[in-house]
Structure 1
């Protein structure tokens, strides 16, 4: 506990020194997001709850915290929020279909020994739970990419108010291309690094390459990484178009008023 407290204090001090008030809001946003995820997880245990709808509500709140609470409500966070919501909606439907097709829901055979003493008849839809877990893992990256695109687009629009919608859209896509590779790799190494122990376990079980690839645990993690990459790729053109449309529409309204 002392180590956790010391690390939290160090993180808070660094975020204050570097980010100022926004850094402090970012630090407290971590706990707010954790509270939302914890509440969503508790409600998901209710058989009457719909995990897909609950995930959308949780993602909406998390996106609002990450964008509006940290960066305030302005003309760069509004397009980013709308873009994130559209991307999450499309991605959630896609992930539900992928989860049903790949049958990665539930537990793998490697976990049966530890779970043998528990009953698995808990009355929840494991397909929807699996889809919810994947989308929760990608929400942070999606909102991060969205605000990373709208922020420089707003700066360009501020310095070049006469820029066309098409040029502004191309600028957003250009930024997105630079972000795409780094964020996708970040997601890959974050998930892969967290499951190094799983690969060591597979080695101890003397799994062949084919058995590793077809393992439910390994497949679930790889599908999570791939879906996260798809979400990052989708949010780039969506954010670029919405931001370009919003900025130019604002200019046109000011011109007619």
Structure 2
């Protein structure tokens, strides 16, 4: 516990020194997001609650914290939030269908062997929706990160070149997104590999074949998370670029019209 406190203190000091006021807000947002997720888990234990609806509400709150609380309410955070909402709505249906088709809901064989000896697995919850909700919440961080990473430099480009056309601004957003796309998808892959390195070593000792690994529930579920997050990242690039370019140019035209009327 002392080690965790020391590491938290180091993180706090570095975030404040480097990020200043925004770094302090980012540090506080970690605990706010954690509180939202813990509260969501408690609600998920109620069989009367719809897990997907609960997760969508949680994702909306997390997006507000990550965008509006850290970066304040402005045009770039508004367009980033709207882009995030649209992308998540598209992803929900895809994730739910894929979760049902791949049959990754519930516990894997490796998990059941340990849990079934201590706990009852008949808890009255829809594990298809639980699995879909888990994947949705796993993608929200990457999607909001890409959204603000696109809208923020687009705002700077617009400020430096106020006469830029909507098409050129949109193309600039796409170019920014292309640079982000590769690094973020690789980050997701290495996060999966690092988090499940011990499991992969255990699978090797059990002498699983490549086919058994590829068809195992725990491997498929994690691969689906990576692919869903990657799809979300790819989708939000044109969505955020178009919405932001439309909003900025529309705002410029409205200001020009007001000056003419005056």
Q: When the two structures are superposed, what TM-score results if normalisation uses the length of structure 2? A: 0.97
The answer for the alignment partner of 2:171 in structure 1 is: 170
The answer for the alignment partner of 1:21 in structure 2 is: 21
1:159 Cα offset (Å): 1.1
1:111 Cα offset (Å): 1.8
CA–CA distance in structure 2, aligned partners of residues 45 and 65 of structure 1:
24
1:37 Cα offset (Å): 0.6
Structure 1 gaps of 5+ residues are none
CA–CA distance in structure 1, aligned partners of residues 23 and 116 of structure 2:
46
The answer for the alignment partner of 1:50 in structure 2 is: 50
CA–CA distance in structure 1, aligned partners of residues 47 and 173 of structure 2:
43
CA–CA distance in structure 2, aligned partners of residues 111 and 75 of structure 1:
46
Task: Tell me if 1:190 matches 2:178.
Answer: no
- Matches of residues 139-218 of structure 1 in structure 2 within 5 Å? 139-218=140-219
1:193 Cα offset (Å): 0.8
> Post-superposition, which runs of at least 4 consecutive aligned residues in structure 1 deviate over 3 A?
none
The answer for the alignment partner of 1:108 in structure 2 is: 108
1:231 Cα offset (Å): 0.7
Task: Tell me if 1:120 matches 2:121.
Answer: yes
1:114 Cα offset (Å): 0.8
- Matches of residues 226-241 of structure 1 in structure 2 within 5 Å? 226-241=227-242
CA–CA distance in structure 1, aligned partners of residues 128 and 175 of structure 2:
36
CA–CA distance in structure 1, aligned partners of residues 109 and 183 of structure 2:
34
1:27 Cα offset (Å): 0.1
Deviations 1:144-193 (A, max 9, x none): 00000000100111111111111100000000000000000001111121
1:68 Cα offset (Å): 0.2
1:136 Cα offset (Å): 0.9
Structure 2 gaps of 5+ residues are none
The answer for the alignment partner of 2:133 in structure 1 is: 132
CA–CA distance in structure 2, aligned partners of residues 242 and 5 of structure 1:
42
Q: Secondary structure at the match of 1:46?
A: coil
Q: Secondary structure at the match of 2:190?
A: helix
1:252 Cα offset (Å): 1.1
CA–CA distance in structure 2, aligned partners of residues 110 and 149 of structure 1:
41
1:113 Cα offset (Å): 1.6
Q: Secondary structure at the match of 2:75?
A: coil
CA–CA distance in structure 2, aligned partners of residues 169 and 67 of structure 1:
21
The answer for the alignment partner of 1:68 in structure 2 is: 68
CA–CA distance in structure 1, aligned partners of residues 18 and 244 of structure 2:
28
The answer for the alignment partner of 1:98 in structure 2 is: 98
1:223 Cα offset (Å): 0.9
Deviations 1:205-236 (A, max 9, x none): 21111111111111111111111111110110
